[in-house]
Structure 1
């Protein structure tokens, strides 16, 4: 969580949904399985802070959250959801029975990087440190405007080639490279070879080769 990474101990969470706030506070019963999973996740994350308050606000006063949701939908095509798998190192905080039960209750597969492959553990730590460093620099400067700045931080990381794998996280996810804004106004190979009428077919070809790209990235990381 961004708040935890920035060292926050007391947080105030706002929602324009009176039902959601009521469910979190125990005033309303949570019947749907999906909402029960979110409630368990909320309660678990709340334990990471000294104090967490929830309050309901009018929709016209919840513009910051609405903006984050809008950008998440426009850039990723879906809202962030509970992950299917969590891959972590072998720290005691991840290998405890409480954490296993927490993951199991949400339908999350809890997997660990191999002790015989320390490169994977180090790479995870490097990735986390990189994201935390970018977040602290950009979001501390943004202060009250952090909801507008956060998508930019994530986009910068996703579209920058990582040294150990030689690829961008964006390509490893979607099978093709993103055209960043700086490339729009300058001459580049991507722009020169782009053909709109065959672009759709080329994207399909890229997806066909995606497994090979990921395998090559994995081999590079192992040698790094």
Structure 2
């Protein structure tokens, strides 16, 4: 009504109402709490919450046994249903029956359903009449065992059963013979590491041999196709040769030395060797190594290492002496006077480096606040 541009009907209403003393006020937004209070004051006595269960979801169980399993030994069962208590009971019963078929006598049952586990343990009472028959059936089946124990585990610790339950929901088995065994393998190292080892075992050359050969003398591997040559030229752009040592240019223009499988294994063992202590008596022997690792690691708060802020240069790791890095090789080429001058330059810039670390720390604190 207070708008300056009114259509015919609104203008007519404004003229008719002008004889009255009326103040127009815009309606304010209605808060969600007011709506909630209004609904709560008018709650129905026979109200029933929505049921989000999906009774047609598929289920799966996982049964595991020790590798050297012997008759009468312990057998573990992990089951996972969907979000339906009936489906979880079905999964548990399926696994128990599988254990009975295998003549298992000692069974541990693990499930991520608090309802099913604690009802079977007798700690929770049964209220749903549909579940009473399932619990009764489970109690009848476990009489076939000498010992049965039920354990509750969180869902994030029951990932294998959960993954297989998801896999089971993705396809339907029309015939029993359509079921294929699922083989799961665990590798101790990433797949590309195995690939590097396999390649080097075949021809006794490191993984970067073709790149080194091309960068050094522009030669292609034998029997290389045009596509292989094009890929090799594209890869070689990111590599630099210094003498006989090949380096890869990083995104920050740092040169990374290329190492073969033996050197890579040695470096990993050197960096990640052992634990902090092997026994409680040898902690004083391991302490210097732990302190070196702490002082030579970049701190997130400062963006620099403690060693560089004190001495103006980065610490030389023992592995860099055994397998010379680029900076070690560069310093070996300097005579004593040049090396002393380079140390003076580093010390002259140490204050600037410390100020930079302080600014980095202040910005880091602002981001954390």
- Is TM > 0.5 for Structure 1 vs Structure 2? no
Report which of the two has the higher share of helix. Answer: 1
- Structure number with the bigger relative contact order (C-alpha 8 A, sep ≥ 6) is 1
Larger Rg: 2
